[in-house]
């Protein structure tokens, strides 16, 4: 069974950092692109960042560009999101999701998704 | 504001057929595929429809998708109380993009 489990969320003050992790199992992690998507009540789903299977192609939403860094460790079947200079508007549940392709393709889709980890940015 | 526009809410009674629209442009829906996701409170979002009109295994055939030009639609037939959730269209506009979401209420 394909499984994605996020961790690393918590409470952080504005301007501080958090590092999220996503542990993958049940599939050949190194063969697929991966994504981070966040959800906060009243704001809906917001795509955050994507990374290709070999880390050579990476995309960020404008709202996090320059502050967040997506990485992956295929040997550890793990996806990461380093979140720096956090803002109140970054408060959300963060989900990792598996793509159906190796590369960041326009015709890909997110399946499955992890349950998410809650990030709260507040002083 | 997302480049994919969905109505914020929709509703229907049990057994009814409901459609949710997703409007975009030639830069996104008009040029690429549309996917649909269901998000139940407290749960992980779930893929409902991929590449415009395909259902993953395990998804009920009560759910169907369509696309025409720069718009897409999700139809839910035989509405059930368990269908009460938020529904999101998603596509590509230089990067992945989601619609604003539609909250479906089963009356």
pLDDT for A65-111, tens place per residue?
Answer: 999 999 999 999 999 999 999 999 999 999 999 999 999 988 899 99
Query: CB distance from B50 to chain A under 8 Å?
Result: yes
Q: How confident is the model at residue A14 (pLDDT cuts 50, 70, 90)?
A: very high
User: How many Cα atoms within 13 Å fall on the side-chain side of residue B8?
Assistant: 3
Residue with tokens 């992790």: A21
A22, A58, A64, A121, B56 from A84: Cα distances, Å: 18, 17, 9, 11, 36
Mean pLDDT of the region B48-76: 97
Asked whether residue A43 carries a pLDDT value surpassing 90, the answer given is: no
Instruction: Determine the Cα–Cα distance for residues B22 and A15; give it in Å rounded to an integer.
Output: 36
For residue B35, the chain A residue with the least C-alpha distance is A109
Q: Which residues pair with A78 in a beta bridge?
A: A23, A73
With CB atoms and an 8 Å threshold, state whether B51 touches A61. Answer: no
Per the prediction, chain B carries an average pLDDT of 96
Which SS3 state, helix, strand or coil, does residue B107 take? coil
Chain-chain contact of B35 with A114 (C-beta, under 8 angstroms): no
State the residue for tokens 């809410």: B9
d(C-alpha B35, C-alpha A108), whole Å: 9
Q: Which residue has the tokens 């393709």?
A: A105
**Mean pLDDT score, A56-73:** 98
Q: With an 8 Å Cβ cutoff, is B96 touching chain A?
A: yes
What lies within 8 Å, CB to CB, of B29 at 6+ separation is B4, B22, B23, B67, B69, B70, B71, B72, B91
Task: Count Cβ atoms within 10 A of the Cβ of residue B84 and give its class: 0-12 exposed, 13-18 middle, 19 or more buried.
Answer: middle
Is the bond preceding residue A112 a cis peptide, omega within 30 degrees? yes
Q: Nearest CA to CA, how far is B1 from chain A (Å)?
A: 10
Q: Is the pLDDT of residue A42 over 90?
A: no
Residue A41's pLDDT band (cuts 50, 70, 90): confident
* b (16+ CB within 10 A) / e for A68-96: bebebeeeebbbbbebeebeeebbbbbbb
| Greater model confidence, B41 or B9 | B9
Size of interface A-B (CB pairs under 8 A): 68
Is there a contact between A61 and B95 if contact means CB atoms under 8 Å apart? yes
User: For residue A84, which of A72, A94, A96, A69 has the smallest C-alpha distance?
Assistant: A69
Q: Name the minimum distance, in Å, from the CA of B55 to any CA of chain A.
A: 12
Of A44, A59, A114, which is closest to B98 when you measure between CB atoms?
A44
């Amino acid at each position: 069974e394909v499984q994605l489990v996020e961790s690393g969320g918590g409470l952080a003050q504005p301007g501080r950092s958090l590092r999220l992790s996503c542990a993958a199992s049940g599939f050949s992690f190194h063969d697929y692109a991966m994504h981070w998507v966040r959800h906060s009540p009243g704001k809906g789903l917001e795509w955050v960042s994507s990374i290709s299977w070999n880390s050579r192609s990476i995309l960020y939403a404008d709202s996090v560009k320059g502050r967040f860094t997506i990485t992956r460790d295929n040997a550890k079947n793990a996806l990461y999101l380093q979140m720096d200079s956090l803002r109140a508007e970054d408060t959300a549940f963060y989900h990792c999701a598996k793509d159906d392709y190796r590369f960041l393709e326009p015709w890909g889709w997110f399946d499955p998704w992890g349950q998410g980890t809650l990030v709260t940015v507040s002083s | 504001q997302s480049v994919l526009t969905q109505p914020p809410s929709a509703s229907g009674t049990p057994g009814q057929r409901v459609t949710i629209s997703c409007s975009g442009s030639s830069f996104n829906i008009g040029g690429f595929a549309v996917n649909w996701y269901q998000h139940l409170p407290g749960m992980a979002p779930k893929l409902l429809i991929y590449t415009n009109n395909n259902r993953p295994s395990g998804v009920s055939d009560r759910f169907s998708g369509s696309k025409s030009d720069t718009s897409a639609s999700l139809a839910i037939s035989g509405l059930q109380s368990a269908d009460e959730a938020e529904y999101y269209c998603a596509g590509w506009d230089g990067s992945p993009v989601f619609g604003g979401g539609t909250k479906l209420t089963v009356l």
